[in-house]
């Protein structure tokens, strides 16, 4: 029996492959599109049974090749570029592809865990898994939102587990290939090493410079929650996956810079001290106005009610661990 992980060479997908390996699971079919060839690096230290291009995978799925051979599908494959303007591509890649996998898993009674997104909440201030709180601001968010509506309509008559996880701002190892879509923690690390300072957006929507608030969640915690549901196939639903505690972009910058300074045997600085020479605030991009979430904070009551009791890493803890890993890798 195989685990199928789509987007397996991507950020979250490759971390799930590695986590299953650490459990002794190597019968993994890794599905992805390696048009961005550098993503292969995420799988170099992983063990898989086979790699399939997304299109080949879909053809084999339709031909019945995997019938009776699949233990679970962890669907992480998607276009995650929130600035993508080709709506047809986005809906085909994120919505139709996911719907096809859902239909297959339901027909074959296979657990199906998929990546949703906190972007479905748009510019709202309440982040609860409820229809009235959802108002996507771009076609990426709409593609995730629309599929969640399909799941809601089908949950009561499901034949097997279906879990949608609304990821908030995930950061951590194996995201380098994402380029400009990588986390701010990743960019701050590289900016500071290259220029001795980091760049944050100026204030917007009533927030001070760098004061916009997001629910930053470590990939370590994202993996733990995925495995929790994998271990509990009787639990289904759509769940927020964040820490439940918003923190500022300034907090991320302070954690990243101080971890780098500590590694160089330099004293820890406060935000105010950093603002004098180590942090630059750049104009807020016009193209993001009206499409940007200045505040997110996951309501994780549904996740807790499902039985998940694990603690989440704060920005100070998680970003420090991530930066330490990047320092070690760059040495």
The H or E element containing residue 304 is: helix 301-305
Count of other CB atoms within 10 angstroms of residue 317: 14
d(CA 102, CA 40): 26
d(CA 327, CA 321): 10
- 39 is an active site residue: no
Q: Quote the tokens at residue 52.
A: 């399939």
* Active-site residue, selected from the candidate residues 178, 224, 235, 291: 178
- 178 is an active site residue: yes
Dihedral in degrees, nearest 10, Cα atoms 215, 219, 225, 226: 130
Radius of gyration over alpha carbons of the chain, in Å?
20
Asked if residue 163 lies in contact with residue 237, where contact means CB atoms within 8 angstroms, the answer is yes
* Active-site residue, selected from the candidate residues 140, 142, 167, 295: 140
Q: Quote the tokens at residue 62.
A: 């339709």
Q: What is the DSSP letter of 208?
A: P
| Catalytically annotated residues | 140, 178
């Amino acid at each position: 029996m195989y685990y199928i992980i789509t987007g397996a060479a991507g950020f979250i997908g490759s971390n799930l492959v590695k986590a299953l390996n650490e459990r002794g699971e190597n019968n993994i079919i890794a599905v992805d599109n390696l048009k961005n060839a550098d993503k292969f690096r995420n799988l170099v230290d992983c063990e898989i049974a086979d790699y399939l291009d997304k299109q080949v995978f879909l053809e084999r799925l339709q031909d019945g090749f995997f019938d009776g051979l699949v233990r679970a599908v962890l669907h992480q494959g998607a276009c995650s570029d929130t600035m993508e303007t080709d709506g047809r591509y986005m809906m085909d890649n994120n919505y139709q592809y996911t719907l096809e996998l859902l239909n297959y898993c339901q027909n074959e009674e296979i657990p199906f865990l998929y990546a949703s997104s906190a972007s479905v909440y748009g510019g709202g201030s309440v982040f609860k898994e409820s229809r009235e709180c959802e108002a996507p601001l771009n076609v990426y968010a709409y593609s995730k939102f629309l599929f969640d509506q399909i799941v809601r309509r089908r949950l009561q008559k499901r034949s097997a587990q279906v879990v949608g996880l609304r990821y908030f701002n995930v950061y951590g190892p194996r995201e380098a290939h994402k380029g400009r879509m990588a986390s701010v923690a990743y960019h701050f690390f590289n900016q500071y090493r290259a220029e001795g300072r980091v760049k944050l957006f100026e204030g917007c929507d009533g927030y001070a410079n760098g004061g916009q608030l997001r629910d930053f969640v470590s990939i370590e915690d994202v993996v733990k929650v995925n495995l929790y549901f994998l271990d509990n196939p009787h639990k289904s639903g759509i769940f927020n996956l964040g820490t439940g505690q918003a923190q500022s972009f300034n907090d991320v910058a302070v954690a990243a810079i101080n971890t780098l300074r500590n590694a160089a045997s330099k004293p820890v600085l406060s935000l105010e001290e950093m603002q004098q020479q180590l942090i630059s605030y750049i104009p807020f991009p016009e193209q993001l106005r009206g499409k940007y979430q200045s505040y997110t904070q996951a309501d994780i009551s549904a996740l807790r009610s499902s039985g998940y009791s694990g603690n989440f890493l704060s920005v100070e803890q998680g970003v420090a661990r991530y930066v330490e890993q990047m320092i070690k890798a760059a040495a």
